[in-house]
Structure formats: structure tokens, C-alpha cells
Structure 1
């Protein structure tokens, strides 16, 4: 049976791959993003132009929503002494405030579903102390707190889970993965000896949105090539 999903940031990277997987399964997908990207290549997809840093509330006219994924993120890597309050504010606006605004806009629709699921995205840098990650880890850490709080508040009607990836080969990470040498160097920091792909992370998000994960909520899942728990020799 076709379901209705909302993917914020669904025109690029992990969000696009998730939108693609959902639409190819015959579901209806509403994507909120600043640009359409390659969304015209997908069927059953409606695009709403929206910037998550805008003060305007998103306009989503859906009666029932079966799943929601918030995919925007930041990679603002600077030494702590070089970070300004505006850097922390921007990361918070994108990673936390944007998620809150868009999720609240579809909450009534999620409550009307028979088995709704919410997927948020954190980073391995919240659980693993990493230099130059103070700003992004602070905002993503807040998102992990929201994940657990909402999972408790919205259960059993709506499940809420979070994926915490390590560096993934997406447009967002293009600056730090701009060459094969940089990809190899980054890959060697992981036990699996490579960086992740957008398709892999999207498959995990798809699983969390699906009924196959119907007994899972309040979890922060490390999809990180082993970085959060093991070290290669």
C-alpha cells in the first residue's frame, strides 16, 4: 500500500537517495528543499521550495503523514578559538530549529497515521570527541536529546529514531572529500577502510521509516564504519 512521506532536504545527498528509494517503492514523497536538484527524475514526488533557516513556517498541506525524515546538516569544522557565536547559531538553526519547525508542521498528519515514524540525523562526532567539531557536535547533540524526548512523548503512536553517520560521500562533504587521496585518507580512519555512501545511509533511514522497524524507537544508531566503537590496528 502506498504511503505518504515528507523528506526535508530531499533533493541532494542522503535525502535525495531516500526520496528515490521511497518513490521507487510506489510511495508518495513530499520534499522540502531550497532547490529541486534532480527530483524531476523521480515519480510520485512533490517539491516545496523551503529554506530551513527561514523564519517563515513551512506550508505542507497533507492530511496524513506516515513518515518524516529531516536530512539537512552542516559540516562547520573550525578550531574552537576561531568559532564565533554566529557559527554556533547557524549550526543550531539548520540542525535543530529547522528540524523542530518542519516536524511540528506535520505532527497532526503523523498522529493520523496508523504507524508513523520520524528519522533525524546526528553525527558520530557527538559520541566521539573530535577536534574542530565543537559547533556541529553541540547542535547535533541537542538533536539526539530531542530524539529521545520525542520518542518518549509520542509513543506508542509515533516512533522517533536518529542515525549518527561518520563522514559520507555527499555534496555536503565535498570540501573534505574533494579528491581520491582525501577519500582514502578519511577511509583509513574507519575499521571498514572507506567512507560511507549516501545510498547506504538512505537504506538505514528507509528501514527506520518502514514497518520492519516497528519495535524500535528512541535509538541513536551509529552508521559509521565502526568509528564509534572500534579502532583499526
Structure 2
């Protein structure tokens, strides 16, 4: 299936590892040129850029702290002017701290909220002037947005906010820009493996209909679909990709 992404320009945050990295690679394989945005992991971002160039697409590196609104605006403005604009924006930058509910400190709360929720807002707001007509935005939330999480309540709260930020943006930016959300279950990323380490050994078998955790590419395929013209009549939606964890 041709998703219609050939020659498009995509900006992916959190693209140096995990789901963001898998998304950047798949976008390139579908023919898109990709801005590989990262926070601290420049080495990982360079590796992804090399893979993108290996399939014949252009890659740009763009480092910024999503929690710093001014830094986000400056970086996106610079790369937006360099590329001439974006057809796809994937907001995948995220951070989690596994802490029991009663032990979450104010600093931990602020850090997790600022990266996962405020950072998404800063990124989308800064990118709007550079999003071309017909562009698509995909945010990456979590199954925790719907289920809650006793050992990372701040993360669950931020991701629930992101789901509704997505809906608000979809209403505000229509009909020129589509905005959707993917809510993954646990994927075997560096952050996901830390979560798995704090779960009972039989969690996947007992809680997930598919009885396993996701590979990052399985989440990325859904993101790339929503980012593509193949999903041209989808906006304001949240796609649950959780192996049957949360059937409502």
C-alpha cells in the first residue's frame, strides 16, 4: 500500500531511540525526508539520520529541550526555514520516572508534566506556522492515559492531558491540518523495559489479549499510517495500540 508520503518532510521529536526512532525510519522507508529531533541523545539521533540517508532520503538533526518553550520555538523556526516547512509532525518525546504514588516529589511531577504535556504543546505551537496545508500531526500518548498507573501517576496524568490536547488541536487546526493520537501499550523500548522490570513476570500473559509486549516498529506503523494521506478523513482520534490491554 502506497501511503503517499514520498517527497514529504516530517519532523519527529524523540527520534533518537525507541518508538520515535522507529517512526523516523519507517517514514523514510515510505519516501519522506525526516528531521530527527532529539533532547540529549545526539549519538542515537546521528545513527537514525545515517539509516535515513541509507534509504536515499534526506535527514536533518535538530536538538532542543522540549520543556523549554523558547528553545523549542527557536529550533523549529530554524529547521522549518531550512526545510521549507513540514507535511508531518510526530510528537514522540517522552520521559517517565517510576515512583510509587505517595513518593512522587514536586520536582518529579514538574519534570514529567513539562516534558510529556507542556513539551507537546510547545512543539505543536511552534510548528504551526511551518505546517503546510494538508499536514498531519500525530501525538504519542500511552495506555496509562486511560488506565492510570500507580507507580507513575505523573506520566499517566500527562498522557491523559495529551489525549485531550490532541482533540483541542484537531478542532482548532481543522480543516487545514489533521491531528491524531496513538496510545501505545508497553513497547520494548529503553523506557518500556524499565516499566516491565517493575511488573509481575506474568503481566503480559495475564493482562494482554496478545500475551506479549509490542516491538517499537508495531507502534510506529500505526503512527505512520495516521501521518499519511491514507488517513485523510481521520482527525481528533486516539488509536489504542496495546495488545488488548484496555478493551472498552
Q: Same-fold call, TM > 0.5?
A: yes
Change over 3 Å in CA distance of 1:26–1:183 after alignment to 2: farther
Matches for 1:35-184 after TM superposition, within 5 Å: 35-37=42-44, 38-39=47-48, 40-43=50-53, 44-54=58-68, 56-58=70-72, 59-60=75-76, 61-62=79-80, 63-110=84-131, 113-177=132-196
Q: Which runs of 5+ in 1 are unaligned?
A: none
Determine whether 1:206 maps to 2:227.
no
1:55 Cα deviation after fit: 5.2
1:120 Cα deviation after fit: 0.5
Separation of aligned partners in 1, 2:67 and 2:170: 25
Separation of aligned partners in 2, 1:55 and 1:151: 21
Superposed CA deviations along residues 113-132 of structure 1, whole A, max 9, x for unmatched, are 23111111111112113322
Separation of aligned partners in 2, 1:203 and 1:5: 15
Counterpart of 2:13 in structure 1 is 8
Separation of aligned partners in 1, 2:145 and 2:122: 22
1:9 Cα deviation after fit: 0.8
| 98-107 or 6-15: bigger deviation | 98-107
TM-score when normalising by structure 2: 0.85
Q: Which runs of 5+ in 2 are unaligned?
A: 1-5
CA contact (8 A) 2:117 2:159 kept: yes
1:185 Cα deviation after fit: 2.8
Change over 3 Å in CA distance of 1:51–1:186 after alignment to 2: farther
Separation of aligned partners in 2, 1:211 and 1:183: 41
CA contact (8 A) 1:191 1:226 kept: yes
Determine whether 1:24 maps to 2:29.
yes
Secondary structure of the residue that 1:6 maps to in structure 2?
A: strand
Separation of aligned partners in 2, 1:45 and 1:184: 40
Separation of aligned partners in 1, 2:18 and 2:29: 17
TM-score when normalising by structure 1: 0.90
When the two structures are aligned, how many residues end up with a matched partner? 226
Counterpart of 2:211 in structure 1 is 193
Q: RMSD over aligned Cα, in angstroms?
A: 1.9
1:211 Cα deviation after fit: 0.5
Structure with more of its chain in helix, by fraction: 2
1:11 Cα deviation after fit: 1.3
